[in-house]
Amino acid sequence: MTETSAATDGTILLAAPRGYCAGVDRAVDVVEKALDLYGPPVYVRKEIVHNKYVVESLSRRGAIFVNETDEVPEGARVVFSAHGVSPQVREAADARNLLSIDATCPLVTKVHREAVRFAKEDYDIILVGHEGHEEVEGTYGEAPSHIQVVGSPDEVDNVVVRDPERVVWISQTTLSVDETKMTVDRLRERFPALIDPPSDDICYATQNRQVAVKHIAPQVDVMVVVGSANSSNSVRLVEVALEAGTPSAYRVDMASELDPAWFEGARTVGLTSGASVPEILVKDVIEWLGERGFPTVEEVRTETETITFALPRNLRSELSAQGMEDARPHARRKSGPNHTS
Ligand code: SF4
């Protein structure tokens, strides 16, 4: 048997805040309430939130995830995901007489409104974000003739504007705060009159999770981020940990993806989760690490979050008409979607 240098009294530094944000909590609740109210199937355009476990759990309850509205039967109900949709998607849904329930996070809607307003005022709008991400597609679709997407500081050189005095930037909600600042600094070098958005577009949850990771990163040998590969804010947490001094950082969907080799020689492991990750997945990782030499868990809290969002108005009205309870705003759930397994 090969001898390893695995710890026996290692410590987990557990970042807080982590996991579900208010927008994800609401979006998952929308699908659950729609299933309770109308019964399955409930169609959902795209993944309601970018988390494999959440999507699989809701699928088992009767949600059907589709890529586009033309896959939804004419006249059926469809939920739009937390990442938001463009006006073109709404029009396509209307053309098929779909009954839509909009689970777009209110903080994404805020960015859409900024795009619409600046386009009306005829600004050139630089949308800092990742091309191809659903949120970026939705925001871009609000004003395609005015918006250019810029993904990194290096892409700033390719930006062409009509009038350098009338340029504004907005952003995707789940970016790295530091990298976005670098991109905006480069933009401002090129366009000194660049206008900032009225308030931060990178949302409170993204920022808080990055601050928490930065805080523990220098103290740990390995950082584990629970989150799916298509979750922008989870992927950013890995980058933030590495930039803040963690020697190695890994993203996993769940405990079964962890590799014991990652922890050889480690004494302290950092642990966090993206904004779409139910706490049950973090608990599984704690248990896995506990069985492999990390029995002590210390939570390190850098912020306390209390924000919640109300359900979409049309869903609230229908719940109330059916005498069904809308318990929001409520304390944030500690685990994922209701599930029996
Ligand atoms: S990460 Fe931020 S913008 Fe995205 S759903 Fe959560 S609160 Fe809303």
* Residue 77: strand pairing partners: 99
Q: Assess contact for 314 and 56: CB atoms under 8 A.
A: no
3-state secondary structure of 106: helix
Ligand 1 centroid vs 22 CA: distance in angstroms? 7
Whole-number Cα distances in Å, 153 to 14, 157, 182, 210: 32, 8, 6, 20
Could you tell me if 66 and 43 are in contact, meaning their C-beta atoms sit under 8 angstroms apart?
yes
Ordered structural domains, the chain, with CATH: 11-19+204-301 (3.40.1010.20), 22-105+306-322 (3.40.50.11270), 107-190 (3.40.1010.20)
Is residue 233 in contact with ligand 1, taking CB distance under 6 Å? yes
Smallest CA separation from ligand 1 atom 8, residue = 23
Nearest C-alpha neighbor of 79 from the set 51, 43, 39, 29: 43
Q: How many angstroms separate the CA atoms of 167 and 147, rounded? A: 10
Q: Is 72 in the pocket of ligand 1 (CB under 6 A)?
A: no
- Residue 107 CB–ligand 1 contact under 6 Å: yes
Burial of 95 (0-12, 13-18, 19+ CB in 10 A): exposed
Amino acid at 100: S
| φ, ψ dihedrals at 301, nearest 5° | -100, 130
**What percent of the chain is modeled with pLDDT above 70?**
94
Among 275, 311, 310, 307, smallest CA distance to 34 is for 311
Mean pLDDT (the chain, rounded): 94
135 is known as an active-site residue = yes
State the binding site: 21, 50, 83, 105, 133, 173, 203, 231-233, 276
Q: Over its length of 341 residues, how does the chain's per-residue pLDDT go in tens digits?
A: 334 456 789 999 999 999 999 999 999 999 999 999 999 999 999 999 999 999 999 999 999 999 999 999 999 999 999 999 999 999 999 999 999 999 999 999 999 999 999 999 999 999 999 999 999 999 999 999 999 999 999 999 999 999 999 999 999 999 999 999 999 999 999 999 999 999 999 999 999 999 999 999 999 999 999 999 999 999 999 999 999 999 999 999 999 999 999 999 999 999 999 999 999 999 999 999 999 999 999 999 999 999 999 999 999 999 999 999 777 765 444 444 433 22
Per-residue DSSP letter, 70: G
Q: Which residues contact 96 (CB under 8 A, 6 or more apart)?
A: 69, 70, 72, 74, 75
- Smallest CA separation from ligand 1 atom 6, residue: 23
Q: Which two tokens stand for residue 34?
A: 């729609």
What are 272-303's pLDDT values in tens digits? 999 999 999 999 999 999 999 999 999 999 99
Q: Tell how far the Cα of 232 is from the centroid of ligand 1, in angstroms.
A: 11
Dist CA 156 CA 151 (whole Å): 8
Please measure the distance between the N-terminal and C-terminal CA atoms of the chain and give it in whole angstroms. Answer: 36
CA dist 12 → 38, 114, 211, 254 (Å): 43, 41, 18, 16
Query: Ligand 1 pocket test: which of 108, 172, 175, 209 has the largest number of ligand atoms within 8 Å of its C-beta?
Result: 108
Q: Which two tokens stand for residue 167?
A: 């340029």
Q: Is 22 near ligand 1, meaning CB less than 6 Å away?
A: yes
246 lines ligand 1 (CB under 6 A): no
Catalytic residue among 32, 114, 134, 135: 135
Nearest-angstrom CA–CA distance, 28 and 192: 42
